[in-house]
Structure 1
Amino acid sequence: MYAAIMNTALGSLLIKANDSAVTSIHFLRDDETLPELLGNPLIDQCISELGEYFSGRRVDFDIPLAPDGTHFQQSVWRALREIPYGKTCSYGEIARKLGKPRAARAIGMANNRNPIPIIIPCHRVLGSNGSLTGYAGGLENKSYLLNLEKRP
């Protein structure tokens, strides 16, 4: 396992990867114990792509991803990656897209368990009334990301 820290406007992100893909991005808290940090080319590519995203020069990511989750979670995370940059949708819309119109709460839980935020854009999912709802990185960060994606 490889890991590195990237400092961003949202705070520090812990990025982890294996030999073939990024496996997680985690918003660090001040009191967290860090793993041994050992980078690799995928970590470097991820940091570069995130840097381009935060500077407004990237709307899609090319880095290979390997999020660990159930079949259902994987299907939700694939659907999240289909939400276009600068757009949002609701949990219910994702549920309907996946052919599970009554699964909005389950969609919300899968969204909450997304191990690769920002690149798998769970921040683009809003409540049915358009309100900001839970985000593992905090609602302030969710708002920041949505505003970043509104810039021309």
Structure 2
Amino acid sequence: MADLEQLVARHDERPEAQALLNALKRNQAALSKMLAKCDEGPPEAEDCIYRFYHGSRKVYMIQSLTEEIAPLLQQQMPDRPLNPEFVEILQQGTGLEPERRQPERRAKATRHMLEAYFHAHYFLEMAVKYGRELEYPPCLMPSGWAALLYLYNLR
């Protein structure tokens, strides 16, 4: 039992992990404001997701939220590249223009937008959550914190 307590009490001493946590704490207001904007809009994510299922071109508005979240995440560690898989998801789901397509083709194209938004929103949620909750970078870490470390290529 003492070994487990020691493991839980250990901190991640890497300066990069501490720098990330410090940035999340320092920028908590901007991160929280962006998270609220996703719910309150404009555009409102809830409506954009509905528009996907409705078959409306208004689903394309979700890209504006994703395009605001991504730079905010990058600003937390501006000298570190974001995870290449995340960058690829963003590239496939942003910068898309509405086209007149067959419904099946439109759904496939717009799914990438939703995927990009969901990933960006997830990382934003984790940034807000762990910026508030953590006092230090833990060694025995919750999955959301570990995901943030992957986002910044720190794991």
Would the TM-score normalized by the shorter structure come out above 0.5?
no
- TM-score normalised over the length of structure 1: 0.28
| TM-score, normalised with respect to structure 2 | 0.27
Bigger fraction of residues in helix: 2
Between Structure 1 and Structure 2, the one with more strand by share is 1
Q: Work out which structure has the larger RCO, using CA pairs closer than 8 Å and 6 or more positions apart in sequence.
A: 2
